[in-house]
């Protein structure tokens, strides 16, 4: 198993939805993000907690935290968690390397662009834009 340097972030993301059947804009769903530093990937308390935060999936375009989810579902919660983790990296991550760990293959493959969205297209587009921004190389200052 390859070990990463201790100066990287490991970000755990998850989402859930009550029932997750016949979902609509009023179905309650929520996401969570946990940021660890020094995580070896071996579990059992490796690493140090940096931050943890969570919230509801926002489905109303009139609300400030709306990022494109049209319904509350497990999938929109997982995708929203990815988006919130990527937003954290942009504002607080300090340019450190990061690994995002998720239990949703669906959300992970959509977030990085490996899969094409058939549903949740606006939310997926938003998350993929964040992914591209986080993954973009830092601009070179060079000599001028």
Rounded to 10 degrees, the C-alpha dihedral 46/47/53/55 comes to: -40
pLDDT for res 45? 64
User: Which class for 38: exposed (0-12), middle (13-18), buried (19 or more C-beta within 10 A)?
Assistant: middle
By C-alpha distance, which of 97, 87, 85 is closest to 38? 97
Q: Tell me: pLDDT of 43 over 90.
A: no
Bigger pLDDT: 7 vs 33: 33
Give the mean pLDDT of 92-117.
Answer: 94
Global pTM value: 0.88
**Rounded Cα–Cα distance for residues 49 and 51 (Å):** 6
Distance CA 95, CA 86 (A): 12
**Average pLDDT score, the chain:** 89
Confidence grade of residue 142 (pLDDT, cut at 50, 70, 90): low
Assigned superfamily of 9-135: Ribonuclease H-like superfamily/Ribonuclease H (3.30.420.10)
Burial class (CB in 10 A: 0-12, 13-18, 19+), 56: middle
Distance in angstroms between the alpha carbons of the first and the last residue of the chain: 43
pLDDT exceeds 90 at position 60? yes
Residue 46: pLDDT above 90? no
Residue 30 CB contacts under 8 Å (≥ 6 apart), including other chains = 15, 16, 17, 54, 55, 56, 57, 77
Spatial CA neighbour of 78 closest among 127, 130, 26: 127
């Amino acid at each position: 198993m390859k070990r990463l340097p201790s100066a990287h972030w490991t970000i755990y993301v998850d989402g859930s939805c009550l029932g997750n059947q016949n979902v609509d804009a009023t179905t309650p769903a929520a996401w969570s993000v946990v940021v660890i530093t020094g995580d070896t990937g071996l579990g059992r308390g490796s690493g140090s907690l940096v931050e943890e935060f969570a919230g509801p999936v926002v489905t109303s375009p009139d609300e400030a935290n709306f990022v494109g989810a049209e319904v509350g579902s497990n999938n929109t919660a997982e995708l929203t968690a990815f988006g919130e983790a990527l937003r954290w990296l942009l504002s607080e991550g300090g340019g450190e390397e990061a690994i995002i760990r998720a239990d949703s293959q669906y959300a992970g493959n959509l977030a990085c662009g490996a899969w094409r969205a058939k549903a949740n297209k606006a939310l997926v587009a938003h998350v993929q834009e964040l992914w591209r921004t986080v993954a973009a190389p830092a601009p070179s200052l060079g000599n001028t």
